[in-house]
Amino acid sequence: MPSRDQIHYFGAGPAPLPTPVLEKAAGALLNYQDTGIGICEISHRSAQANQVLADAKSALTQLLDVPDTYDILFLQGGGTGEFSAVVYNLVSIWVEKRRRRALEDLTIALADGKEPGSKEDLNAKVLQRLKAEVDKELKLDYLVTGSWSQKASQEAARLVGADKVNVAVDAKARNGGKFGIIPPESEWSLTPRKREGGPGSALIYFCDNETVDGVEFPSFPTSITGHAEDDVDDDAPLIVADMSSNFISRKVDVKKYAVIFGGAQKNVGNAGITIVIVRKSLLPPTAALASPEVLRAVGLPIGPIVFDWATIAKNDSLYNTLPIFDVWIAGQVMAGLLEKFGSKKIQGQEEISRQKANLIYGALDKYPNVYHVVPDESVRSRMNICFRVHGGDADKEKQFLAGAEKLGLSGLKGHRSVGGIRASNYNAVSVEGAKKLATYLEEYANNK
């Protein structure tokens, strides 16, 4: 039986965890902080659980320099759950803004005699105008650059209707039916804002790193702008990023986003929790949400309460029973990065991630007759390195995987939807592991 240090696991998720964290977890599962019970057994309402949450929030805040104008939430449902939560929460905010605007306009019009009817008719008139605006003007922009952003856009269409979802980028259509590029921003078809003569979009959504397809945005897109804290343009879209598979792997300017979310099971911890960083101005009391009655009246869905960010924030992520062990693991991982990199914080991890990716891509590029990297070089993911062996020859790819397993290089099989090989270069993959994979790539190519 191989020992843990003999295996280098490149699986796409759940991903490897730092061995020191797992060793500490083994003790915590049996007896947490000398309480005589394990961490999975403590109440999520206990003082210990509250401290676990506080520590995890503090570590993430320090790592990413999260401003105090943002809240950090821990939920369940994975990144996929947030596909729905984004729509439920941000559409509700958009609707309530429009309702209040309609109420103000029609109240003035009635008082001035410019609008026929009585004050008793006001609510009906407001809802009538609001429904017309929802039908004609509600738009959600999605940048579809891989399988996960595609699924997110499909979920939005399922919830609010395909007519309200604008796929502003369809990378698959632009690339012969396969993901692997991000079209130039000049080709994006974002919904024009009010000041440009369009309806404006409620949000712009993108997946920062596509796990299945190996595509990563090199940097924040320059052509998308959204609400800043001091932005007086009420029609500016809210920028949402799914960072499930490159979370805490590089520096992020949190202020550019309204919402960042990610499942923990790639770089942060084990499967079971989702982390949401949300601007506080999108939460009560600053923001107002449309009531269930209003949403029903205009034909929009009402979200499950466990996906309601306002409810989760009000209850400090403890509205329902949160898996505290999963939060503790994430907190330990993030605290370990702070201890390791000190003042560099997340930039230290970014440098290592780039070093490991360069080692693997360097070996692949050296043998173009043997290996084909799937995504375009301009958008290659540092986290998920997707390639084919001998043009995707099934037998030779099986041979490649079998040889890797013998050397303790596991988890390299590509996603079932696309096949091929995928080396997931998450934070817990060591530089030694990346070097060993690069060496195997060279040896396989020379002995083919």
pLDDT in tens, 314-330: 999 999 999 999 999 99
Least confident of 93-97, 222-226, 254-258, 418-422: 222-226
Question: How much is the average pLDDT of 113-131?
Answer: 81
pLDDT in tens, 384-428: 999 999 999 999 999 999 999 999 999 999 999 999 999 999 999
d(CA 142, CA 173): 14
What is the helix (H) or strand (E) element at residue 328, kind and residue range?
helix 324-341
Question: How much is the average pLDDT of 239-258?
Answer: 97
What domains can be seen in the chain, in order of their start residue?
70-325 (3.40.640.10), 345-446 (3.90.1150.10)
Q: By CB neighbour count within 10 A (0-12 exposed, 13-18 middle, 19+ buried), where does 130 fall?
A: buried
Exposure of 388 in the CB half-sphere (CA atoms within 13 A): 13
* Average pLDDT taken over every residue of the chain: 94
Whole-number pLDDT of residue 232: 44
Please give the angle made by the CA atoms of 336, 339 and 342, to the nearest 5 degrees.
135
Q: Taking a C-beta distance cutoff of 8 angstroms, is the pair 197, 137 a contact?
A: no
What are the residue ranges of helices labelled H in 212-323? 292-297, 309-314
What are the residue ranges of helices labelled H in 76-146? 78-111, 122-137
Residue 385's nearest CA partner among 404, 352, 411 is 411
SS3 411: coil
Strands (E), 150-291: 165-170, 203-207, 209-210, 215-216, 238-242, 259-263, 274-279
Question: How much is the average pLDDT of 21-34?
Answer: 97
Q: By CB neighbour count within 10 A (0-12 exposed, 13-18 middle, 19+ buried), where does 285 fall?
A: exposed
Residue 375's nearest CA partner among 444, 314, 422, 430 is 422
SS3 239: strand
pTM above 0.85, yes or no: yes
pLDDT over threshold 80, residue 120: no
Residue 282's nearest CA partner among 53, 3, 5, 89 is 89
Residue where the block lists tokens 């994975």? 78
Q: Which residues contact 13 (CB under 8 A, 6 or more apart)?
A: 211, 245, 263, 265, 266, 271, 424, 426
Pairing of strands 409-410, 238-242: unpaired
Question: How much is the average pLDDT of 199-210?
Answer: 96
User: Which of the two residues, 227 and 37, has the higher pLDDT score?
Assistant: 37
Q: At what angle do helices 346-365 and 431-446 cross, to 10 degrees?
A: 0
pLDDT in tens, 335-351: 999 999 999 999 999 99
Sign of CA dihedral 173, 224, 151, 288: negative
Least confident of 44-53, 222-231, 285-294: 222-231
pLDDT classification of 118: cutoffs 50, 70, 90: low
Whole-number pLDDT of residue 183: 97
pLDDT over threshold 50, residue 16: yes
Residue 205's nearest CA partner among 187, 217, 213 is 217
pLDDT over threshold 70, residue 233: no
User: Which of the two residues, 290 and 121, has the higher pLDDT score?
Assistant: 290
In DSSP notation, 342-379 reads: GGGTHHHHHHHHHHHHHHHHHHHHT-TTTEEESS-GGG
pLDDT over threshold 80, residue 69: yes
Residue 211's nearest CA partner among 14, 57, 437 is 14
Residue 203's nearest CA partner among 142, 135, 162, 150 is 142
d(CA 356, CA 358): 5
Question: How much is the average pLDDT of 93-100?
Answer: 96
**3-state secondary structure labels for all residues of 201-237:** CCEEEEECEECCCCEECCCCCCCCCCCCCCCCCCCCC
pLDDT classification of 230: cutoffs 50, 70, 90: very low
pLDDT classification of 119: cutoffs 50, 70, 90: low
d(CA 180, CA 215): 6
Q: Which residues contact 270 (CB under 8 A, 6 or more apart)?
A: 14, 17, 264, 326, 329
Pairing of strands 384-389, 421-424: antiparallel
Structure tokens given for 82: 């947030």
